[in-house]
Amino acid sequence: MTFPESRPRRLRSTPVIRGMVAETRLSAADFIAPLFFDARISRPEPINAMPGQQRWPVEAAAEVCGPLAEAGVNAVMLFGLPDYKDDEGSSSWQDTGVVQQAIAEIRRSCPEMLIITDVCLCEYTSHGHCGLLDGNSVDNDRTLPLLARQALSHIEAGADIVAPSDMMDGRVGAIRGALDVHGHSDTPIMAYSAKYASAFYGPFREAAESTPSFGDRRSYQMDPANVREALKEVSLDLAEGADIVMVKPALSYLDVIHRVREAVQVPVAAYNVSGEYSMIKAAGAAGWIDEERAVREVLTSIKRAGADLIISYHSLEAALAIRSGRWS
Ligand code: PBG
């Protein structure tokens, strides 16, 4: 059938009919909210480059996770700003580390919250790279035991899932091995499998104080030009024991999300990163776009591309908009 028999506009005439035929629906349960905990502060500090986001002291765990839980956001992803940094990032695996303490506080104040931790060294190393240095390059194999130690420490502090974001080869296997040996064979790993070397991490690096002191991350993060390589990274991580695979960033990589979704049988997560968030916030604040509509459109596009889980700084506002009925 073609025009005039076929008229797609028939199914667009009212909000009710549009709602009935919508192919993609957002739900608060899709979201994972990233949170920054800072060991050196006693009050929340706004993050300049990420309007609406804060760095939280550990004691504020209830203040931050209460409203999320109330809005139906069931999962958080934790990042830490430690009280000291060194060459190997040892503040990342201390029992008294900032993420370890935040895990305990969240467990206490929001017992149902799913706690995912980002596993990486860049927030904890004095040089800001994601692994141990050998001269000016990152030593892949010597980094693996350190990542495994950090992941184990997060799980022993009470985290539910670890999410390695360092992009070292073999790290999923190293972490899986360490967890299994210590009796955590039921703990899932969410792997940042296709993580690109992206300009869109800029605001995060300000938030987490994790800018590399020299060079960049292109010797370990992926080249934005590649998609077959993303499928290869995903299959390597699955072979090493990843339970959930991730594509990051999301918006410039919707094709990658789609290709990964078609290629695998495990859940696919997508990370709607800091720069993607801040662009919307900046344009919204300037009055150049309708911010809430833009947020809805962005999140819908990530889900439509094939993401089962969306890690986003918009999580709370999205969940509130969904609950209010404005997005149905
Ligand atoms: C740590 C890490 C980064 C992000 C998540 N984990 C920064 C980076 O790789 O430089 C970025 C998240 C964001 O931009 O929101 N390696």
Look at residue 176 and tell me if it is in a domain.
Answer: yes
Per the CB < 8 A criterion, the answer to whether 151 and 165 are in contact is: no
- How far, in Å, CA of 198 to CA of 221, rounded? 8
Q: Is 120 in the pocket of ligand 1 (CB under 6 A)?
A: yes
Instruction: Let me know if residue 15 belongs to a domain.
Output: no
Determine if ligand 1 sits within 6 Å of the CB of residue 130.
yes
Which domain, by its residues, includes 214?
A: 23-324
Sequence letter at residue 190: M
Distance 11 CA to ligand 1 centre (A): 41
Q: What is the pLDDT at residue 234?
A: 98
Residue 272 lies in a domain: yes
Distance CA 280, CA 41 (A): 28
Say what the pLDDT of residue 243 is.
98
CATH number of domain containing 87: 3.20.20.70
Element (H, E) at 229: helix 228-239
Whose CA is closest to atom 11 on ligand 1?
A: 201
At 160, the amino acid letter reads: D
Give which of 40, 36, 48, 46 is closest to 76, Cα–Cα.
Answer: 36
pLDDT score recorded for residue 213: 93
pLDDT at 328: 85
> Which pLDDT does position 160 carry in this prediction?
98
Q: CA–CA separation, 285 vs 48, rounded Å?
A: 14
CA of 325 to the centre of ligand 1 (A): 32
The closest residue, in CA terms, to atom 2 on ligand 1 is: 165
Domain contains 16: no
Q: Could you give the 3-state DSSP secondary structure of residue 186?
A: coil
Helix (H, G, I), strand (E, B) or coil at 220: coil
User: Residue 14: inside a domain, yes or no?
Assistant: no
Q: Answer yes or no: is 122 within a domain.
A: yes
Using alpha carbons, select from 255, 257, 248, 244 the residue that is nearest to residue 277: 248
Q: Residues 143-178: pLDDT tens digits?
A: 999 999 999 999 999 999 999 999 999 999 999 999
What backbone phi and psi angles, to 5 degrees, belong to 61?
Answer: -50, -45
Cα→Cα distances 273→130, 171, 247, 258, Å:
18, 22, 11, 18
Determine which helix (DSSP H) or strand (DSSP E) holds 277, and give its type and residue range: helix 274-285
Residues marked active site are found at: 195, 248
What is the reported pTM? 0.97
In whole angstroms, give the CA distance from residue 104 to residue 94. Answer: 13
- CA dihedral (19, 25, 28, 32) in degrees, to 10, reads -160
In a domain, 3, yes or no: no
Would the CB of 278 count as within 6 Å of ligand 1?
A: no
**Which H or E run includes 204?**
helix 202-208
Q: For residue 269, is it within any domain?
A: yes
Number of domains in the chain: 1
For residues 289 and 283, is the Cβ–Cβ distance under 8 A? yes
Q: Is there an atom of ligand 1 within 6 Å of 122 CB?
A: yes
Mutate to test the pocket of ligand 1, among 32, 165, 190 (most ligand atoms within 8 A of CB): 165
Rounded-to-integer distance, Cα 294 and Cα 271, Å: 17
Structural tokens at position 322 = 């969904």
The low-confidence residues of the chain, meaning pLDDT below 50, are none
Question: Cα–Cα distance between 222 and 232 in angstroms, integer?
Answer: 11
> Could you give the CA distance from residue 249 to residue 247 in angstroms, rounded to a whole number?
6
- With both helix axes pointing from N to C terminus, report the angle between 291-305 and 254-263 in degrees, rounded to the nearest 10: 30
Q: Within 13 Å and on the Cβ side, how many CA atoms surround 265?
A: 1
* Residue 195 alpha carbon, nearest atom of ligand 1: 9
